[in-house]
Structure 1
């Protein structure tokens, strides 16, 4: 058995759940087991801050981060700041 943490963060809120899985479990297995509200709305996932695929195998102690969609395009934000907006 391995134990991993699955988390989903917002600016003012954090959902986190530790789950125990069989050896060889994947990122997708952990997300399904954690069943965090809002996880279906996350277009990407990372393991310890590095982008990961759903079929990636996990190790004991891994931290799976559900990545929320961007609310604004970073390039547009930089342009706006550069033009004083």
Structure 2
């Protein structure tokens, strides 16, 4: 039987509150299992760890139920996006173009 363990961090943040938990877990723990075992939902009611997008050190993990963690990694729980980044960029570019056109007309 494999009794080895790993130490990982699990983090989640809102605009006004952040939490970092350090966990010792069995070797072979997946990204999703670490998030579920963190108990983070006790600190953030309504957080759905079973369906939240997850990442490691700022990179999204496509299959968090399959990706096995290594010692020292940091699991990040991501929030849903409020706005589509592509749409926000389009709107910003349209405003800049409009402002530039209005500046040339004056």
**TM-score, scaled relative to structure 2:** 0.71
Q: Which has the larger radius of gyration?
A: 2
2:25 match:
21
RMSD: 1.8
Higher RCO, 1 or 2 (CA under 8 Å, sep at least 6)?
1
Task: Give the number of equivalent residue pairs.
Answer: 85
2:94 match:
83
After TM superposition, the structure 1 = structure 2 runs for residues 4-83 of structure 1, keeping only pairs within 5 Å, are 4-37=8-41, 38=44, 39-40=47-48, 43-52=52-61, 53-54=63-64, 55-83=66-94
**TM-score, scaled relative to structure 1:** 0.86
Query: Deviating runs (4+, > 2 A) in structure 1?
Result: none
